[in-house]
Amino acid sequence: MNNNVIPTFALVAAIGIFFFYVYPTWSGSIAAKKVVISFDEKALAAAIAYKAQQNQLADARNAIDPADLARLSAFLPSSVDNVGLILTLNALAARSGLTLSNVDVLTDTLATKSSNTDTSVTNPVGSVSLALSAVGTYTALQTFLQGVEKSERLLDVRELVVKGSDTGVYTYQMKINLYWLR
């Protein structure tokens, strides 16, 4: 009988270790692997959907006429290009008969406040304000504003201050908003 006690005890201990330690540990790691596989499958499905949408958008963009894309790029450029805009406004003012005397890039308090919030991240269009000072006749101002209106760039004249003169040559101060894609 002594010969059978030790092997029986070892067999019961092995079965106990298996059911109380090995099996729960093993099944827990299998469940964790199943969860990881499920997340990986969801990520793969999302990547496939993203790739399909990306291809669909690329096809839609390729269907647009390149001349229209060039016009859109001029209307709402992908960068600010302050220097190019100032040169364009200066040329427009010269053609209109106005003389630009001062051009300043303003830091807009609303823009700086919104840059700290989530709306600036989701808004794909950025803006910057310019302050212009000009000297010229009223007719020259009208011609300049018509040129700004017909400009290929998206501009808003927010503020216009006219300082009178007895000579017919006025001093104008304007604030203009310029827009671009971020």
Q: List own/partner pairs for 70-78 with CB under 8 A and 24 or more apart.
A: 71/152, 74/152, 74/153, 75/152, 75/153, 75/154, 76/125, 76/154, 76/179, 76/180, 76/181, 77/153, 77/180, 77/181, 78/180, 78/181
Assessment of whether the complete model's pTM goes beyond 0.85 = no
Q: Give per-residue pLDDT as tens, 164-177.
A: 888 888 999 999 88
Distance from C-alpha of 181 to C-alpha of 68, rounded to nearest angstrom:
17
Every domain of the chain and the residues it spans: 1-63, 75-181
Choose which CATH entry (3.40.50.2300, 3.40.980.10, 3.30.230.10, 3.30.70.60) describes domain 75-181.
3.30.70.60
Q: How far is CA 120 from CA 9, 78, 115, 132, 176, in A?
A: 71, 16, 5, 26, 20
pLDDT the model gives residue 117? 56
Res. 128 pLDDT band, cuts 50 70 90: confident
What is d(CA 144, CA 159) in angstroms, rounded to the nearest whole number? Answer: 15
